[in-house]
Structure 1
Amino acid sequence: MLIVPETLIASLVTPEDAFHAVEACFSSMARGEAYNFPVVREALGEGRQYGFKSGLDRAAGQLGVKAGGYFPGNAARGLINHQSSVFLFDPETGRPLAMVGGNLLTALRTAAASALAIDRLARPEAEVLGIVGAGHQAGFQLRAAARVRRFRRVLAWNLHPEMLPRLGAVAAELGLPFEAVALPRMREAEVIVTITSSPAASLMAEHVAPGTHLSCMGTDTRGKQEVEPALVAAATVFADEVAQSVSIGEAQHAVAAGMLDASAIVPIGEVLVGRHPGRRSAQEITLFDGTGVGLQDLAVAAVAAARASERGLGIEVGI
């Protein structure tokens, strides 16, 4: 078995690699060649979450599981709050193939899924990007979004505004004017990414203009919520996986309130393989509910393991 530590990931997997890996796994899901196993998620108290996401992609020959979670006290310890590892197995024999550090990979695959949705669902002429949230993941989201659209400015809001300058520095690296705004000014944005860990909605329907695309990436646990159900119900909703969307994703609240039928949610893979047209009009609000599926983690971890093996990196151990 090959161990690929977290310290090697940045040299092995690029944002472009993550984009193509996620695109391939969503397409495999749409073709029925890959599926996710039920998510196991447990609350450990004091805001800590731990769980497992796993799946099988027959087309890519990937079987495995990501173990990890959210530990909000880590910042005080000099660690990022999200901690995870990905384990890959031979789908024919069950033999362990690799253990791969999952922290950077999680950030890359989350941003890649959001950017993929923006690429396929946002209006081609969109020039103003809005970001709700300014935590560790927000910078990854900004960079990934800027790779698929030529934005001319960035608007951002965060519950704790003192965190926004760090996101502004990322915008400056990209040469994009950056402005911290109140939520009502999100109506100026043509693409909005929400990336918070909020238990209550912050973005309301009145904050979003017709024709906007939203990538809602923060809700991945029962009880989390970034946008109000009325906004979800007013949009055409796409998801990485419908089952997760309605149970632990942003759509859970609108579905529970009877404002959205689960059958109306479109897997993003249906757009990728050409079975759904995606956006149908310039005035349509599109919303991608990115819950994060295990197959995404396997896809990017497989890239890391293959590159490490090719380059003679990592640690080989006998099992």
Structure 2
Amino acid sequence: MLIIDEQTAGHLLDAQEAFHAVEETFAAMARGQARNFPVVREALGHADALYGFKSGFDSAGATLGLKAGGYWPHNAEHGLTNHQSSVFLFDPDTGRPTAMVSGNHLTAMRTAAACAVSIRHLARTDADTLGIVGAGHQAVYQLRAAAAQRRFERVVAWNRTPGRLTELAAAAEALGLAFETPPLHRLGHEADVIVTITSCHEPLLMAEHVGPGTHLACMGTDTAGKQEIDPLILQQAQVFTDEAAQAVGLGECQHAVDAGQLDVERIQALGDVVTGQCAGRTAAGDITVFDGTGVGLQDLSVARRVAARALEAGRGQHIHFGH
């Protein structure tokens, strides 16, 4: 079995590689070649942590495995990232473990890549202002991945604690983008693409904040009870997700469906847009929403690529594990 630590994983996976891996996963799911297994996600009742498993099998990519981990909100006090996870890969022909890959960098990269895939396929081609709501660990990953998908001229960002926006400002400057920190309602009106990446349990962005033609990628809601946007936005929008069943249980869709503001039949798979089975955006004035709950297959896909590159480069640690 190959063991790949966090630093090595970070060196072996770049944004372009992550984008292609995640886009291919969306396509494999749409074609019925890959499926996610039911998610286990629980509050531990210890350290305010959420812990769980995401797993699946991709027959097209011969990828089988799981990601174990979750969210420890007090980790910053210990100098650690709040999101902690590990990915385990298995040989689908024999069941033997083939790799264990540190999953923190991978999770941030695949989450940003899923957002980028939604922008590539759903945002208006003339979008020039990118909005970012949230300034946690994953926000810079989101900004960089999103910025690669359109000819953005500026970034408008908001966070409950404005002082934490300095990293986003530096990332935008490095990309040659103007950076502003308007109030949330103004961000909503001015941004053509809005990425939400928070851990909130109440709506931040309201329906009256969002204008026609906006694409929203909601990337923070992945647990029952979490919420970033007003359910009325989903009522008015074309709604897409990575996996409908998961979105209804864990994503932004949970609130709109529960309130009777969104029929489950209206939730479309982003993979169907990627493969051309669904048109996606149909008019410039449409509001489109991607409810990105994060599926295990995305973690497995990027981990498989990291493991393959590690083998090619002679990186990682090999151990004998079982017969």
TM-score with structure 1 setting the length:
0.99
Which one-letter code corresponds to 1:17 in the other structure? E
Deviations 1:192-235 (A, max 9, x none): 00000001110001111100000000000000000011111111
How much is the aligned-residue C-alpha RMSD, in angstroms? 0.7
Name the amino acid aligned to 2:215: H
Aligned equivalent of 1:21: 21
Question: How far apart are the structure 2 equivalents of 1:92 and 1:26?
Answer: 23
Instruction: Trace 1:1-319 onto structure 2 (pairs within 5 A).
Output: 1-45=1-45, 46-185=47-186, 186-319=188-321
Deviation of the 1:318 alpha carbon: 0.5
Distance 1:166 1:318 in 2: 42
Query: Counterparts of 1:210 and 1:134 in 2: how far apart (Å)?
Result: 25
Task: Give 2:2's aligned amino acid.
Answer: L
Rounded to whole Å, the distance in 2 between the matches of 1:164 and 1:205 is 24
Does the residue aligned with 2:173 lie in a helix, a strand or coil?
helix
- Residues in 1 aligned to 2:241 and 2:110: alpha-carbon distance in whole angstroms: 15
Using the aligned pairs only, state the percent identity.
61
Q: Distance in 2 between matches of 1:236 and 1:203?
A: 17
Gaps of 5+ in 1: none
CA distance in 2, matches of 1:50, 1:242: 22
In the alignment, the residues of structure 1 paired with residue 74 and residue 242 of structure 2 have an alpha-carbon distance, to the nearest angstrom, of: 29
Tell me by how many angstroms 1:150 deviates. Answer: 1.0
Question: What 5-or-longer segments of structure 2 have no aligned partner?
Answer: none
The alignment partner of 2:202 has SS state of: coil
The CA distance in 1 between the partners of 2:92 and 2:25, in whole Å, is 16
Distance in 2 of aligned mates of 1:194 and 1:132: 5
| TM superposition shift of 1:11 | 1.5
Question: Which stretch shows the higher mean deviation, 44-53 or 97-106?
Answer: 44-53
Is the partner of 1:136 in helix, strand or coil? coil
Instruction: Give 1:47 deviation, angstroms.
Output: 3.0
Partner amino acid, structure 2, of 1:134 = A
Q: Provide the C-alpha distance between the structure 1 equivalents of 2:255 and 2:28, rounded to a whole number of angstroms.
A: 28
Counterpart Cα distance in 1 of 2:233 and 2:25: 28
